[in-house]
Amino acid sequence: MIDRRDLVKASVGASLAVLVPWQVRAFGAFAPSPGSWRHFEVTTRLEIANAGGTTQAWIPVPSVSESEWFHSQGSSWTTNAKSATLVRDRKYNSELLHVEWAEEELAPVVEVVSRAATRDRAIDFTRPGTPLPLSPAETQLYTEATEFIPVDGIVRETSEKVTAGTSSDLERARAIYEWIIDNTYRNPNTRGCGVGDIASMLKSGNLGGKCADLNALYVGLARAAGLPARDIYGIRVAPSKFGYKSLGTNSDIITKSQHCRAEVYLFGFGWVPVDPADVRKVVLEEPPGKLPLDDLKVVDARRTLFGAWETNWLPYNMACDLQLPGSSGPKLTFLMYPQAETASTRLDALDPESFVYRIFAKEITS
């Protein structure tokens, strides 16, 4: 549960982000802004060992369409499967490649090549405009609960405490962002990107995890405050051009570079990028590691990641609680990793012994 000390701590953090602009400029490294488009090619190669019976796989492909910062330019594939079909989820408009092999195929393999164009984002909060409003259906979709992101109970209670005293949606969105940075931590022992079970996090008081946990917490608290919000699931594809070792890739092999981000819809600004999880990643991982919150790199990241993204990152989709087509297994909380089943067994996407895949990225000319 949240007490007064937590709220004081959050307000101190928010004040810090505002009161040290000269220090931010002294470091001055992290300043994404819309500019030239960058073009990337991402290749996912999947191989399944010990195949038996009907073997299937599901590979996420870029399906986000945002005119200001991301264009999917299609995907192609090669495989020894009997069928490979591009499938679209109607609720979230996400796409995946569904591949199915013949029972006698003992060495299933598929390679998917996706191309996309992306550019940095930055919101100028001093210049509100008239963004395209959300439809009633979109508003409902991005304020409703999902299996792991409830908007009632302890989530609503926490959201009300965190946003107490705010008078606008911008202030509420900022208060939640600052509170998450001050009260959570990145847990290096979390498998993959985490699971995003935010009610369990709040009930236990264990607010550690990775991006799928911390940014899901942002989305849940924002929705409980009446703000449309969503996770976007994707993968980093290049190093940070602003010098952050923790916020980019270090080679063209990006197999373990999955990262989800969040957005919140604000009056006068539309969809606003936020990423408190990456601030916590800077704290833990930016050399020399375990940085204090008042370190200039942390302060700069904290200032930047409410309202801006460096898009050395490719978004796949925004889907939650996804039932994989043709699968008899459980729903996925989100689709950010390739998935596979052998006969009726869902393979562990994080276990390289039974489920081998590699993902490569390269920047290309348009």
What is the average pLDDT value for the chain, to the nearest integer? 91
Mean pLDDT on 182-196: 97
Q: Which element (helix H / strand E) includes 154? A: helix 153-162
pLDDT at site 10: 41
pLDDT at site 28: 57
Q: Does residue 359 surpass a pLDDT of 80?
A: yes
The separation between CA 231 and the C-alpha centre of its own chain, rounded to angstroms, equals 6
d(CA 283, CA 290): 5
Could you tell me if 345 and 48 are in contact, meaning their C-beta atoms sit under 8 angstroms apart? no
Mean pLDDT on 232-238: 98
Ranges 5-9, 208-212, 216-220, 263-267: which has the least confidence = 5-9
3-state secondary structure of 36: coil
Q: How far apart are the first and last CA of the chain?
A: 51
At 138-163, the pLDDT tens digits run 999 999 999 999 999 999 999 999 99
d(CA 336, CA 342): 20
Q: Does residue 12 surpass a pLDDT of 60?
A: no
Beta-sheet strand order (sheet of 345-346): 83-89, 94-101, 55-60, 339-342, 345-346
Q: Which domains does the chain have, with CATH numbers?
A: 4-30+121-310 (3.10.620.30), 38-117+326-364 (2.60.40.2250)
**Pair type for strands 38-48 and 355-364:** antiparallel
Q: Residue 136 region, left (φ>0) first, then alpha (ψ -120 to 50), else beta?
A: alpha
pLDDT at site 343: 84
pLDDT at site 50: 76
